[in-house]
A and B are shown apart, each in its own frame.
Chain A
Amino acid sequence: MGSIRFDKVDKVFGPKTGGMKVLEGIDLVIGEKEFVAIVGPSGCGKTTCLRMVAGFEAPSAGSVSVNGREITSPGPDRAVVFQQFALFPWKTVRENIDLGLRNKRLPRSERSDRIAGALKLMNLESHAEAFPHQLSGGMQQRVAIARAYVLDPEVLLMDEPFGALDAQTRVVMQEELVRLARRNPRTVLFITHAVEEAVYLADRVAIMTRRPGRIKEVLDVKPVRLAENWDRLARIEDVMDLESFVHLRTQIWRSLREEKGPHGV
């Protein structure tokens, strides 16, 4: 399993053409099997943080490492779930999930076992041979999560995975992800701008400032969740009614509001 470490990371876009500093002095350690959410105003660079762990972007200064190895390129040890799903529309659900396993050169029998497991985990068994466009948005995102989970990655990177879903579907997916994460813990970096989602899902929530993005504070949710035993409640709205939840949420909102501009944008 894996841990993620940001060490004094700066990121400047277009350094040759004047440059825009999007991240400044990011220091964050995500422990093994820990679920950390980053929240922040839009454009604060939170997605860039995730993209650096994925290997799509390189830091301008400092380093990002997983298990002590500095990241140089994308790879299946760091699976990504994209906001826009990014499924391959010409591949069936099964083929989409299979590609990463084939790239790892796993034998056929093991692949089909793992695919079966992933399909079952995400309730996709009856859609294995469907093409993505035949599925609803929520189902497509299940496929994307299955495609990431099946690789058994060291870390799981989720970039606003529920941002493109409608409100009802989002709630179902959030509840399902909680069940998945509690039963089957992974090291997760979760990017979102939805405060409730972050509090509900994460062990810790990192709050970022406006551009250039810095980590303003990190809130521990896990001790509260365990003390108040949130997991006894199956429904998100029941958890969101708890005083302890409301308290944390309000704390984050206040912190974020200070970050909004003079016009409240």
Chain B
Amino acid sequence: MAVLVALWFLLTTLTGTIGGGRFPSPGEFWASLLQISGKGYAGATLLSHAWHSTTLVVMGFLVAIGTGVPLGLWMGWSRRAEALMNPIFLFIRPIPPLAWIPLAILWLGLGDAAKIMVIWFAAFVPSVINAFTGVRTIDRPVLEAAAMLGTPRWRLVQEVILPAALPMIFTGLRLSLQAAWTTLVAAELVGALVGVGFVLNVAQQDIYPGMILVGMVTVGVLGWATTWLLGHAERRALAWNVAAGA
């Protein structure tokens, strides 16, 4: 990391190999960071931009897993549900989440609702697929053992199917979270009034490399932090698992 910063300093400030106006020097980056943290940029301080984006991601993500995971579990459990939902799913799935952005803006405008909608669509698909696969790959003897013990239906879902599918579900959640961030940044770049993507958008129009880099670093840090939190939740939830517990 230190080497990287030194190299950055060397290329931009000392030798000028990378010309100004193309990539910021550490000094410019720092100045931009101070500017947006203090008096703000693109209408708000960095903290409120970041907070706004994170809230949207978390909300869209929660809506997506709240709908996607149960649907995936249901499709995994019932062949009928699978046959019913699969064609619709096959139809929707190849459409990249970002392609929903124009439609979302058309329907819901530039505000938060449109963002939540596209995040929902983006994070929904991995949730469904992984919950579905999680159920389908449960070892048959485990299900037979539950049946042999006379486990009633609701308890079966709660105590056998859900925990058995949980490792796969978490794999899906990680993909969902990643998709949520990508989509949000794209949606904010296309049209927004506040948020990290909006900062990037304004900085691009102002041709302000220092601020562009601040925006990118913020996206990276936020993505990293939310992924870390999810990983933490996963380790706690899967303490029984050999792979995760080790």
A79 touches B148 (CB 8 A): yes
Contacts of A80 in B (CB 8 A): 144-145, 148
A88 touches B160 (CB 8 A): yes
A103 touches B149 (CB 8 A): yes
Count A-B contacts at CB 8 Å.
73
Q: Which of A54, A102, A131, A147 is in CB contact (< 8 Å) with B144?
A: A54
B163 touches A75 (CB 8 A): no
Name A54-70 residues within 8 Å CB distance of B. Answer: 54-56
B141 touches A78 (CB 8 A): no
* Shortest distance between the CB of B65 and any CB in chain A (Å): 19
Contacts of B141 in A (CB 8 A): 82, 84-86
**Nearest B residue (CB) for A82:** B141
**Nearest B residue (CB) for A157:** B148
A89 touches B144 (CB 8 A): no
* Shortest distance between the CB of B97 and any CB in chain A (Å): 32
B145 touches A82 (CB 8 A): yes
Q: A78-B148, A82-B141, A151-B149 are in contact. Are A90 and B163 (CB under 8 A)?
A: yes
A103 touches B147 (CB 8 A): no
Q: A75-B150, A103-B150 are in contact. Are A86 and B241 (CB under 8 A)?
A: no
Q: Give the distance in Å from the alpha carbon of A151 to the alpha carbon of B151 in the complex.
A: 13
B148 touches A90 (CB 8 A): no
* Shortest distance between the CB of B52 and any CB in chain A (Å): 37
Q: A54-B144, A88-B160, A103-B155 are in contact. Are A76 and B242 (CB under 8 A)?
A: no
B149 touches A90 (CB 8 A): no
A100 touches B166 (CB 8 A): no
Cβ proximity bits B108-148 to A, threshold 8 Å, 1 near / 0 not:
00000000000000000000000000000001011011111
Q: A54-B144, A84-B141, A86-B142 are in contact. Are A100 and B150 (CB under 8 A)?
A: yes
Q: Give the distance in Å from the alpha carbon of A99 to the alpha carbon of B240 in the complex.
A: 17
B148 touches A99 (CB 8 A): no
B148 touches A54 (CB 8 A): yes
Contacts of A131 in B (CB 8 A): 239-240, 245
Contacts of B163 in A (CB 8 A): 88, 90
* Shortest distance between the CB of B237 and any CB in chain A (Å): 9
Q: Does A108 contact B (CB under 8 A)?
A: no
List of 9 A-B pairs having minimum Cβ-Cβ separation, nearest first: A86-B141, A100-B149, A76-B150, A86-B145, A74-B147, A90-B163, A133-B242, A90-B240, A103-B150
- 23 chain-A/chain-B pairs, Cβ below 8 angstroms: A55-B147, A55-B148, A56-B144, A56-B147, A74-B144, A75-B150, A80-B144, A82-B141, A86-B139, A86-B144, A87-B145, A88-B145, A88-B160, A89-B240, A89-B241, A90-B164, A90-B240, A90-B241, A91-B159, A99-B159, A100-B149, A103-B150, A104-B150
Chain A residues engaging chain B, CB cutoff 8 angstroms: 54-56, 73-76, 78-80, 82, 84-91, 99-100, 102-104, 131, 133, 147, 151
